[in-house]
Amino acid sequence: MQNTVGKSQVMADHTVTVSRLEEVVSTSDEFDRVVSQALPVLLDRATGYTKRFLRETGQWNDDIEHEKFALRWGSEYLERFLVCGRSEVPCRPLFLFDSLVAKQHSKPEPFCYHPDLLRPLGRFLDGLVARAVVSRDALIALYRHSYGWGAGEVIAVTGLNGLESQRIYKNFRRWRESGWQRTMDEIGLTKTELAELTSQQQRHRQRFNGEAERLIRVAQAHYRKSEPDHYPCLSRAQWREMFTQGYGCDYRIWHLALCLDCMQAAWGLGSSGSLTEEKPRLELLVRP
Amino acid sequence: MGYEEGLEAYRSQLLQSLSSPPSRSVSSMSDPIQVYVNERRVGELEGAGMDARLHVQSLDHIETIQLRTEEGTLLGGLVAPEFGYRTSRIQLSSDVIELCVHNIAQGGSLSAVLVPAPSFWSRMGKILGDVTDKLAIRRPDTALAYSMRTVAFTQVLLAIMVVGLIYDRMATWMNPEGEPSFIGQPVALRTVSMTEMDKLEQQLGDLARMQQKVGETLESQQKGIAQLHQTMAQLSSSHESVASSVVMVKEEMEKRQEGPQTDRSTQRPVSDFVQKEQLEAAIKNLTVDNARLSNELARLEEHNQTLSAKLQTASVNASKAVDQNPERLLASQPDMESKNQSVQVVKSLQSPQTQPFLFWVTFSEGTSQESIDQWVHEKKGHKGVINEGWQEVRIVPPAVPPDLFLEQIRGEKIVKAARIRE
Ligand SMILES: [Zn+2]
């Protein structure tokens, strides 16, 4: 690939792919076929747009962290395009793709950007919380990674009943089996980086958890906007009412996973007001 | 690993997972399917082989719909049209999910139906297909849209009542001798002994069985609602076929009045006859459906009233509590404090036209405050807040559709960008 012939061949292929994407496709199957042959082109295109957006909004820096961030969102957009674009036929895939990405970028705060979230610890937390928005397994796993709880403890803390409890056990199992690894792959955390995180935590436990708490608040505040129609924060009295009356199961699961303050406010309500233990503090678990 | 290699490895990994999207695994077949509207979770469809449905009414335009597993796998989705209907049928191994999204000027609605058996699908698909094909250019009768809301509202109330029931039952079952109930038992989390754990598991099992019973009751109630939905779908379909037949007949009559049939074939009377028959049949269908619908609605209305009364007495805060979600989809009133809003919400929706039209705009670089004020004045508008450079402007609702209006605005010299949502 290093020689000139190889390069020009790549360029030519690229041009052919792009021009094919500009033509009309008329069925969903044709859409799948054309698009699946052009994934690298489309990924680079979405990544390019994302880089440009970050540059224009003063959030860019020429380093690998920013490059990875742009890649991650590029791939996120591409995934949605692959699934949703099928229903848009007949269409010209390239234009549809461009307009989908542009739509994403026209939203206020399309992604959770914070320079500290680009370093390994921040990436880990951002990736985890972002995944919780789209995956219930990851949402439940947030309790595990934030406070070190097992399924039984999650059930007690959130005050769940029978059927919901069984689901929690399932969520835990799937997360351990595949969800965690998939999320790490998605955010591009390497084995070395993960090992480094673990050793940092062992060396400076308090500082590490303090930093994690600061960062997870940033991520939680951003991704809470995707909760079911934005469940607001509640006072302890309001939480108590919800727990004792037994309603708002979804509300409890979602919001408490995504809000450290409410977790502390609602602490002890699920296990009938036992306040013998201290309020939970963030104690990050890197592995499930 | 160097900069370039690290990045390239990550890129290849992403490409690989994109090119082999994990499908809905067999183990997760029975798990609920999460439904997202505009990338916000709105509910779920029970996946356990029964037919499940979800109806969502939103005050915002619906832009995208996504279906995901509990693992987060994107199973399917849809980009909603700016206006009008779109349906999509998403095949998940043996199940099918039928999405029907409808955007109007004042928001949008989504109906998602999980259909396990193909035979049922073909019926449903026909109904939905008919509605969509025929109604694509027409907004449905407003009265119908309101009754849809009534149904959604009733569902919310039903859900509240059922949750209440479950809780009551459980409290009674779990607490026969007035001892502290399981949920209320003080448990020091980290010191639960093994025997306690066993007991806990057993109790969980019991609970699950009880819940299943309650679930069955709920299911039968849902079926009632489902039937009503179907009736309404049929009704709008009939409405439409009548409307189109009327138009055709009218056209036909006008043409005849205009002059002798020069180029018409002799088959015309036959097709007229067929049309007339179709028209009559459609009208008959419509009448029957109408009667059925009003019966259903009357019944629901009555039920509604009973439920509201019960709710009021049961707990002042019940309405604010149970998953804000469905209520807030009915109206964008974000404050928790507005209690009892469900009823008001439905009412307030009935006069959407009187509300000012709100949009956000940014101005070209170097535009003076004076010319901005002048521009707002020309629009007979009022300025609202400024958020990250976007100026909120309220005006009397424009005569043209919002999108066209925005296009017009964008074309103006001092305007850099304009949009409806914040
Ligand atoms: Zn909160």
Mutation target vs A (from B3, B7, B10; most A CBs, 10 A cutoff)? B10
Q: Kindly determine whether residue A228 and residue B334, on different chains, have CB atoms separated by under 8 Å.
A: no
- Tell me how far apart the alpha carbons of residues B151 and B227 are, in angstroms, rounded to a whole number: 11
Q: Where are the domains of chain B?
A: 18-117, 121-215, 356-422
Chain B CB contacts of A273 under 8 Å are 186
Q: What angle, 0 to 180 degrees and rounded to 10, lies between the N-to-C axes of helices B268-314 and B142-174?
A: 40
Flag whether residue A82 sits within 8 Å of chain B, measured between CB atoms.
yes
Q: How far is A175 from chain B (nearest CA, A)?
A: 8
Cis peptide before A90 (omega within 30 of 0): yes
Beta-carbon separation of A271 and B164 below 8 A: no
Q: With contact defined as beta carbons under 8 Å apart, do A87 and B66 qualify? A: no
On chain A, the residues whose CB falls within 8 A of the CB of B387 are: 108
pLDDT of residue B130: 45
Taking CB atoms and an 8 Å cut-off, how many pairs form between chains A and B? 209
Q: Do B388 and A108 touch (CB under 8 A)?
A: yes
**Residues in Cβ contact with B328 at an 8 Å cutoff, skipping those fewer than 6 apart:** A229, A230, B334
Inform me whether the C-beta atom of residue B422 falls under 8 Å from chain A C-beta atoms: yes
Q: State which CATH number among 3.40.50, 3.40.190, 3.30.70, 2.70.98 fits the domain covering B356-422.
A: 3.30.70
- Note the residue count of chain A: 288
The residues whose Cβ lies within 5 A of ligand 1, an ion, are: A 233, 259, 262
| pLDDT (tens place) for every residue of chain B, 422 residues total | 678 888 999 999 999 999 976 665 555 667 889 999 998 889 899 866 566 889 999 888 999 999 999 999 998 999 898 899 999 888 887 788 999 999 998 899 999 998 875 544 444 444 454 444 443 333 333 333 333 433 444 344 444 444 444 554 454 444 443 333 333 333 333 334 455 555 555 666 666 665 665 556 556 556 655 665 555 555 555 555 554 555 555 555 555 555 544 444 434 444 555 556 666 666 666 656 666 666 666 677 666 665 655 555 453 443 344 444 433 343 333 333 333 333 333 333 333 445 778 888 888 888 888 888 888 888 888 888 888 888 888 888 787 778 778 888 888 888 888 888 76
Between A84, A229, A276, which is nearest B78 by CB? A84
Rg of chain B (C-alpha set): 27
CA A233 – ligand 1 centroid, Å: 3
Does A159 lie at the interface with B, CB-CB under 8 angstroms? Answer: yes
* B window 61-90, beta carbon within 8 A of A: 63-64, 66, 68-72, 74-79, 86, 88
The structural domains of chain A, with segments of one domain joined by +, span 2-105, 115-265
| Pairwise CB contact (< 8 Å): B329 & A171 | no
d(CA B406, CA A158): 46
pLDDT at A50 over 90: yes
What's the CA gap between A41 and A29, in Å, rounded?
19
